[in-house]
Amino acid sequence: MRIVVGLGDIATQDGDFIGEVLALIARIEAITPPNEIYLKTAACLALTQSEIQTAMVDSFSFNGFAEQIPVYRVAQRHRTHVLKDAWILLSDIRGFHQFTEVEPTSRIERVLDNLTY
């Protein structure tokens, strides 16, 4: 998994998100190694360094951007753990709460066990 955090203005056009920050994030994601979190400068400056330490990776030339872009990464400390074979599930489960209110636990567990990816 690779994560890129950026701050900036975005807009929607015909149901799609558009903006310079999204284009830049996509380009940074392409250079982000697995199990790393990269940040744009604005995102790095928004962090509290005593809580989340960062380190500069380098400045990069990206297609569509005239100037070199500095890129930072979250410095993994001894308290940071990378979990192998872990999954993040994003799902739209509207109405699931009502389902859990009326169904027995065994049925709820069966539904959750049968989720596929």
Nearest CA to 20 out of 54, 64, 52, 57 is that of 64
Contacts (Cβ under 8 Å, ≥6 apart) of 38: 2, 3, 4, 5, 28, 29, 31, 32, 57, 71, 72, 73
Mean pLDDT in consecutive groups of 10 residues from the start of the chain, 117 residues: 88 87 92 92 86 91 93 77 67 72 85 69
For 13, the enclosing helix (H) or strand (E) is strand 11-13
What pLDDT was estimated at residue 33? Answer: 93
Q: Using an 8 Å Cβ cutoff, are 21 and 7 in contact?
A: yes
